[in-house]
Amino acid sequence: MSTIIQPEHIEEIWKSMIMLDEQTSLNIVDTLEQDQPALLEYLMSPPEEFTEAESENLLYAGIVVWKIFDTFGPDIRVVTEEEIFDIEDTNIDVMMTLEGESAGDGIAVIERMLDTYPQPHLLASIAELLLVEDEEVEEDDIISDQARGTMMLILKTVLDAMISAEKK
């Protein structure tokens, strides 16, 4: 059984990442590039319809998710691009079954998923990040509802890829 990352560890990394200076941030990106190059490439290739702010938020959130997993999760092997896209295809199929569901139904599906998901707290933090709207965000930084759904897909794919790469 793998290590389940606890909410306090997730919060610790989120808080520490907010306070980073530029050089430390670049060092973290360099480490991600060395350790998991395909994950970084995936995060740096957002859909064309994303705004600059949405692309930056996706990259930031993805790096934080990786940092949390890297710090408190199990050891993992390097994830390949092919694995990422296979996992993404599976996640797209799941999301397609939800299309047309109300927001409440989507939340209920996430709640059921958390009951059996290997890293429930980390998945919940991703969902919370994308579902909770910040009233104080400037208009240029607002993330569209469509981008939120796509970001959920991408970030869950990153998390699923790391989970599947756990060294046994």
pLDDT digits (tens, 9 = 90+) for 5-55: 999 999 999 999 999 999 999 999 999 999 999 999 999 999 999 999 999
Global pTM? 0.90
Supply the pLDDT for residue 160: 97
pLDDT of residue 113: 81
Question: N- to C-terminal Cα distance for the chain?
Answer: 9
Residue 108: which region, alpha, beta or left (left: phi > 0; alpha: psi -120 to 50)? alpha
- Greater pLDDT, 137 or 64: 64
Residue 63 CB-density burial (10 A; 0-12 exposed, 13-18 middle, 19+ buried): buried
pLDDT digits (tens, 9 = 90+) for 48-106: 999 999 999 999 999 999 999 999 999 999 999 999 999 999 999 888 776 665 555 55
**pLDDT at 151 (0 to 100):** 94
The confidence score (pLDDT) of residue 102 equals 54
Contact 91, 154 (CB under 8 A): no
C-alpha span between 124 and 108 (Å, rounded):
12
